[in-house]
Amino acid sequence: MAERITGHTELIGLMAYPIRHSSSPAMHNEAFATLGLDYAYLAFEVDNSTLEDAIKGLRALKMVGSNVSMPNKTVVGQYLDELSPAAEMCGAVNTIVNDNGKLIGHITDGIGFMQALKDNDIDVIGKKMTICGAGGAATAIEIQAALDGVKEISIFNIHDKFWDNAVETVKKINEKTECKATLYDLDDKEKLKEEMDSSYLFVNGTGVGMKPLEDLSVVPDKSFFRPELIVVDVPYSPLETKMRKMAKEAGCKTMNGLGMMLFQGAAAFKLWTGKEMPIDHMKEVLN
């Protein structure tokens, strides 16, 4: 690293708190080194109380850009000059691009999800999907899927603090895209089965299956899965959730959350550098 950094090296940040556990710095710096690009990616402990100053710093230092994670994703938009259509609709930003002094906010989580599907030869465009979740990850997926041309999305969530967010998401999708979105109560398992039965793709976009909810599943049992249904998990720790294990046993093709994580990073990498992340190499390094 000491040999690689020069007076010309450009800086890209990651602003979040807590953030020291993140794998993004290792991922991006490995990709820069592999392609011989003169950038460095560093994580900064920034929360809502220091976010405005951090963005001023990004401008003053002429940084190339930054990733933004919790608790800043839904707050940072007000300090930027422009938002991508998806970031505007999600009300969240995970990537900032400094375009000659103009700061543009993007959300690449949904782009990453859609790209991970493509990478697994899953084509949901023009088809119906059912998804559980109304938090940050699920909302980004739902909005991007609708923008990209998914025909119909059935969204399920429990009646918690995310419910109103789901109501908003459904409204925005129905008003601003060609996709038809409908919201259902996740406690209505009969409806869940009905919607899964008429879907090409089923996605768990909740925290269920991930620590500390690793013993739970949004789908009660194997009878909900037919072999033709493609089943995708957004959580990735542990990689094998109870839900995906059941789906596999029922004969379904499945995908874990790692692809979405890799491709959301690749989309940000492309926005900053104009180059494709070396995906095959990154898959080897991440595994």
Catalytic residue IDs: 73
Contact 236, 92 (CB under 8 A): no
Instruction: Give the other-Cβ count within 10 Å of 98's Cβ.
Output: 20
Per-residue contact track with ligand NAD, 202 to 231, x per CB under 6 A? ----xxx-x--x----x-------------
Which one of 20-28, 97-105, 157-165, 194-202 is the stretch in contact with ligand NAD (CB under 6 A)? Answer: 157-165
Q: Does 130 bind ligand NAD (CB under 6 A)?
A: no
Contact 147, 177 (CB under 8 A): yes
Residue placing its CB nearer to ligand NAD in the complex, 137 or 173: 137
Q: Does 236 bind ligand NAD (CB under 6 A)?
A: yes
Residue placing its CB nearer to ligand NAD in the complex, 98 or 204: 204
Which one of 23-31, 49-57, 175-183, 200-208 is the stretch in contact with ligand NAD (CB under 6 A)? Answer: 200-208
Q: Does 66 bind ligand NAD (CB under 6 A)?
A: no
Q: Judged by CB under 6 A, which of 157, 177, 199, 217 binds ligand NAD?
A: 157
CB 183 to ligand NAD: min, Å: 12
Counting Cα atoms < 13 Å in the Cβ hemisphere of 228 gives 6
Instruction: Show the tokens assigned to 73.
Output: 């994703």
CB 235 to ligand NAD: min, Å: 4
Q: Judged by CB under 6 A, which of 264, 267, 268, 277 binds ligand NAD?
A: 264
Q: Which residues in the 238-257 window bind ligand NAD by CB under 6 A?
A: 257
Q: Does 164 bind ligand NAD (CB under 6 A)?
A: no
Burial 200-235 (b: 16+ CB within 10 A, else e): bbbbbbbbbbbeeebeebbbeeeebbeeebbbbbbb
Instruction: Show the tokens assigned to 140.
Output: 């980004």
Four-point Cα dihedral 59, 71, 208, 251, nearest 10: 0
Q: Does 44 bind ligand NAD (CB under 6 A)?
A: no
Residue placing its CB nearer to ligand NAD in the complex, 211 or 281: 211
What is the residue-wise DSSP string for 35-78? HT--EEEEEEE--TTTHHHHHHHHHHTT--EEEE-TTSTTTGGG
What is the residue-wise DSSP string for 182-219? EEEETT-HHHHHHHHHT-SEEEE-SSBTBTTSTT--SS
3-state helix, strand, coil in the chain (%, to 5): 40, 20, 40
Strand partners, 192: none
Q: Judged by CB under 6 A, which of 79, 162, 202, 272 binds ligand NAD?
A: 162
Instruction: Show the tokens assigned to 53.
Output: 């100053």
Q: Does 178 bind ligand NAD (CB under 6 A)?
A: no
Please state whether beta strands 65-68 and 95-99 pair in parallel, antiparallel, or not at all (unpaired).
Answer: antiparallel
Q: Does 137 bind ligand NAD (CB under 6 A)?
A: yes
CB 25 to ligand NAD: min, Å: 16
- Positions that interact with ligand NAD (CB under 6 A): 109, 133-138, 157-158, 160, 162, 186, 206-208, 210, 213, 218, 234-236, 257, 260-261, 264
